[in-house]
């Protein structure tokens, strides 16, 4: 990675599929910087709704704490609002969406309405067992959202964000071993079938996301460059 941002000449929509801890957020932020696409994380949108105390946020809170999936109705309403904003017109990297077949079908419809589609659905393949360690060691800069890990991605100066210098590091309420197991169950029952859904549409690529962060980033970069043409 040379750190330069490449500008996109056409609209490109990429989906990152994978269980909790697969690295969707980490990689989406790297692709955002590299290609000028916008990371769109339904988990982040839902956490913002919970923090703002909206009706949707109140409903979502307990479900998220249990490790289950928030209703399609709430998630789709939040996503639709976000997709209507100007900054996503050049394309998005969808992180954590879609998570059910109903969401995938609704997304196809929403994109088709503006003559768009999914350019690549990338499945981040990992071992479930390793995900509990990845997630329990995760923390995030409260100021800019940069993600870190106690072992795999430490900031250069302990407790200080490499990116913005912030010192308010946060850990997520649902990042405990018990909830992670429930989130993994929800992934296998409701989200993993989307691998077949996108494979049938010939838009799926699977990559080994057990590799080091930079190696995974390099595999993703190759795919996005190919899509950009």
Is residue 29 annotated as part of the catalytic site, yes or no? no
Is 149 near ligand AP5 (CB under 6 A)?
A: yes
Tokens 């990559």 — which residue? 207
Residue pair 48/127 in contact (Cβ under 8 Å)? The answer is no
166-196 burial, b if ≥16 CB within 10 A, otherwise e? beebeeeebbeeebbeebbebbeebbeebbe
CA angle at 96 for the pair 39 and 176, rounded to the nearest 5°: 115
Q: According to CB under 6 A, which one of 122, 138, 198, 207 is a site residue for ligand AP5? A: 138
| Residue 38 touching ligand AP5 (CB under 6 A) | no
| 82 annotated active-site | no
CB of 229 to ligand AP5, least distance (A): 27
How near is the Cβ of 224 to ligand AP5 at its closest, in Å? 17
Q: Does 195 bind ligand AP5 (CB under 6 A)?
A: no
Binding residues for ligand AP5, total number by CB under 6 A:
37
What are the residues binding ligand AP5 (CB under 6 A)?
Answer: 18, 20-26, 41-43, 46, 63-64, 67-70, 75, 96-97, 99, 103, 134-135, 137-138, 147-149, 152-153, 183, 209, 212-213, 216
């Amino acid at each position: 990675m040379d750190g330069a941002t490449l500008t996109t000449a056409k609209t490109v929509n990429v989906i990152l599929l994978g269980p909790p801890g697969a690295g969707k957020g980490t990689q989406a932020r790297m692709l955002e910087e590299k290609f000028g696409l916008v990371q769109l994380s339904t988990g982040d949108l839902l956490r913002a709704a919970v923090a703002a105390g909206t009706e949707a946020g109140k409903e979502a809170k307990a479900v998220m704490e249990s490790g289950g999936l928030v209703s399609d109705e709430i998630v789709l309403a939040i996503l639709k609002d976000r997709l209507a904003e100007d900054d996503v017109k050049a394309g998005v990297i969808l992180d954590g969406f879609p998570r059910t077949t109903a969401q995938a079908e609704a997304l196809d419809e929403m994109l088709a309405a503006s003559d768009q589609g999914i350019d690549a659905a990338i499945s981040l393949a990992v071992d479930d067992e390793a995900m509990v360690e990845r997630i329990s060691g995760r923390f995030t800069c409260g100021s800019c959202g940069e993600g870190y890990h106690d072992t795999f991605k430490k900031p250069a100066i302990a407790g200080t964000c490499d990116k913005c210098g912030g010192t308010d590091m946060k850990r997520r309420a649902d990042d405990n071993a018990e909830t992670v197991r429930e989130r993994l169950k929800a992934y296998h029952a409701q989200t993993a079938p989307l691998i077949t859904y996108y494979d049938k549409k010939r838009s799926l690529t699977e990559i080994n996301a057990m590799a080091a962060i930079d190696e995974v980033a390099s595999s993703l970069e190759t795919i996005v460059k190919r899509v950009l043409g």
